[in-house]
Structure 1
Amino acid sequence: MDQRTCNESRVIKTSRVFPNDMNNHQTLFGGKLMSLIDDIASISAARHSRRMTVTASTDSVDFLQPITQEDSVCLESYVTYTGRTSMEVFVKVTAENLLTGDRKVAATAFLTFVALDDNGKPVAVPGVAPETDEEKYLHQTAPDRTRIRKERKQHSKDLAAFLTTKKPWE
């Protein structure tokens, strides 16, 4: 199958931070940022595969710096690595203080998406051809993240098999 560059799946979205986006610490609510991350990552996955996609996992969202109401929030996503039917998507979140121009990486995230055929079954996706140093680094380090992701998924399956679905009041 062919390969696509990270740039072909790149999506950039910048938004203001409004008062209704804030938590009780007067910083951007984490759930709001997570929603923005999943949204932009899904667009990158669809651009890379040119298929309908589903979120298979949110591997990590690391909140590194607070985002305040003085900031704009810029999300950049692209596919960094693929398996046969899955795609790892990296999201970098940059906060820019609109009054000073200071910029900082406020969060990073890795998500996995699966491409689907017209019947909703997983379908093969193109590989990734990284070009920049950042893209090459993320591509080269992806097999370790993939291994950890598979181990974590197995732990989750083991836990789910142990958990009960009984109602607590029964």
Structure 2
Amino acid sequence: MTRTVRLVLPGDCNHYGSLFGGTAMAWMDEAAFVAATRHARAKVVTVHTDAVDFHHPVPQGSIVELLAWVQAVGNSSMRVEVEMWVEPMDKAERSLACRAGFVMVALDAHGRPTRVASPE
């Protein structure tokens, strides 16, 4: 499992003071990339993203934790699940802000799909 922690800064937010959806998706894709790279130990690329389910806004000044893990492995592909959890700085509570699945493919030195090991 990969864990990434980020602080939601003003430049990450829209005029409502909430994290841009595109920024959330980019952070989730990055977490999926790290999880898949750690598993495959090869160059990986995103080939598919499921619908991103946004449960509630992520306010500016929040702490965000992204959790990503390889759920399934094919020949060259890996399905990675990613959750984004949000917590206010002034409270010890967390809530699930959004979740999505990503399909990542491992590539060889020539940019062709290459075999990856099954999860342990």
Normalized per residue, the structure richer in strand is 2
Alignment-derived partner of residue 32 in structure 1: 23
Which residue of 75, 79, 95 corresponds with 1:88?
79
Q: Is residue 2:50 matched to residue 1:59?
A: yes
Cα pair 2:66 2:84 within 8 Å, conserved: yes
Shift of 1:89: 0.5
Q: Is residue 2:101 matched to residue 1:110?
A: yes
The SS at the match of 2:24 is helix
Q: Is residue 2:15 matched to residue 1:15?
A: no
Shift of 1:97: 1.0
Runs of 4+ that moved beyond 3 A: none
Which residue of 31, 35, 39 corresponds with 1:48?
39
The SS at the match of 2:49 is strand
Normalized per residue, the structure richer in helix is 1
Q: Which has the larger radius of gyration?
A: 1
Cα pair 2:9 2:61 within 8 Å, conserved: no
Matches of 1:16 and 1:70 in 2, distance apart? 7
Counterpart residue identity of residue 20, structure 1: G
Matches of 1:35 and 1:107 in 2, distance apart? 12
Alignment-derived partner of residue 77 in structure 1: 68
CA RMSD of aligned residues (A): 1.1
Alignment-derived partner of residue 140 in structure 1: none
Matches of 2:82 and 2:3 in 1, distance apart? 10
Q: Which has the higher contact order (CA 8 A, sep 6+)?
A: 2
Calculate the TM-score normalised by the size of structure 2.
Answer: 0.94
Matches of 1:30 and 1:13 in 2, distance apart? 18
